Amino acid sequence: MIARIKGTLSTVLEDRALVDIGGLTYEVMITRAVGDRLIKTGKVGNEIEFRTMHYIEGAVGMSNLVPRLVGFLNESDLEFFTMMITVQGLSVKRSLKALALPVKDVARAIELSDTATLKKLPEIGPKLAQKIILELKGKAAKFALLKEEDIPESAYHLSAQEEYQQEALDVLLQLQYSPTEAESLVARYSAEHPEISSSEELIQEIFRSQTKL
C-alpha cells in the first residue's frame, strides 16, 4: 500500500496529476478543488507530496479492473474523503467528481444542513445531499475548521490540561492551525463551557462559534 508519494509535479489536469519520480511518471487522481489549489499556488514544476489511497475502478467480476491512486494534500482531506465514501451512493469515482469545493466548505455545508450548496456539487442531487447530511452531520465539524493556508507542522505540548482538551488541541493542529491559535481556541471555549467533557463536544462548540463570526 502506497501511503504517500513525493516527486515533481509535472502536470495538473481536470481530474488527475502527473508526478515524476526517478524517471517514472505516476498518475494520481485528484478532486477539482485539489487541482485548483495546485495551480493557484504555483506547484506545477515543483516538488509535491500527496497522501494517497488506492481503489480499483471497474465492476466486480469484470476483467477490465484498473487500480487507481487517489491523492490529497494533507491527512485531513484524505480522512474526510474516506468518511464521505461511506455514504451509500457515493463511490470513490463519484466523490472525486463531487468535491469541486474545498473540504472545509463541503464540511461546513454538511454541519449547517445546507442542502442548497451540496446539491450544486457535481454528481450530487437533492436526495443525495439530504442523505449525506443525515449520515455525516455531527462527524464533519472538525473538517469545517480546516485552514487552507500552508502552515508548517510543529509539535506543541501543554501542561496541566484535561485529556479531552489535549485531544482537541491535537485535532486543531492536524487541521493546520498554528499552536498559538489552537491553544487559544481550546482555552477559550473550555473556559466558556465548563460542562464540556469530551474533545468531540469541544470541537463542535468551536465550530458553532466560528460559524457565527
Q: What percent of the chain has pLDDT over 70?
A: 90
Nearest to 101 by CA among 137, 148, 50, 51: 148
Mean pLDDT rounded to a whole number for the chain: 85
Q: How far apart are CA 96 and CA 79, in angstroms?
A: 14
pLDDT of residue 156: 31
pLDDT at 41 over 80: yes
| pLDDT tens column, 105-133 | 999 999 999 999 999 899 899 999 999 99
pLDDT at 32 over 70: yes
Q: One fold for both 1-73 and 74-150? A: no
pTM over 0.75: no
| pLDDT tens column, 64-109 | 788 889 999 999 999 999 999 999 989 999 999 999 899 999 999 9
Q: What is the mean pLDDT of residues 2-8?
A: 92
Going from N- to C-terminal start, the domains of the chain cover 1-73, 74-150, 163-211
pLDDT at 62 over 80: no
Choose the CATH number for 74-150 among 3.40.50.11740, 1.10.150.20, 3.40.630.20, 3.40.50.300.
Answer: 1.10.150.20
In angstroms, the Cα distances linking 201 to 137, 140, 204 are: 13, 12, 5
Choose the CATH number for 1-73 among 2.40.50.140, 3.10.129.10, 3.40.50.300, 3.50.50.60.
Answer: 2.40.50.140
pLDDT of residue 133: 96
67 bridge partner residues: 56
Q: What is the mean pLDDT of residues 1-30?
A: 92
Q: What is the mean pLDDT of residues 167-171?
A: 88
pLDDT of residue 63: 65
Residue-wise DSSP of 103-136 = HHHHHHHHHTT-HHHHTTSTT--HHHHHHHHHHH
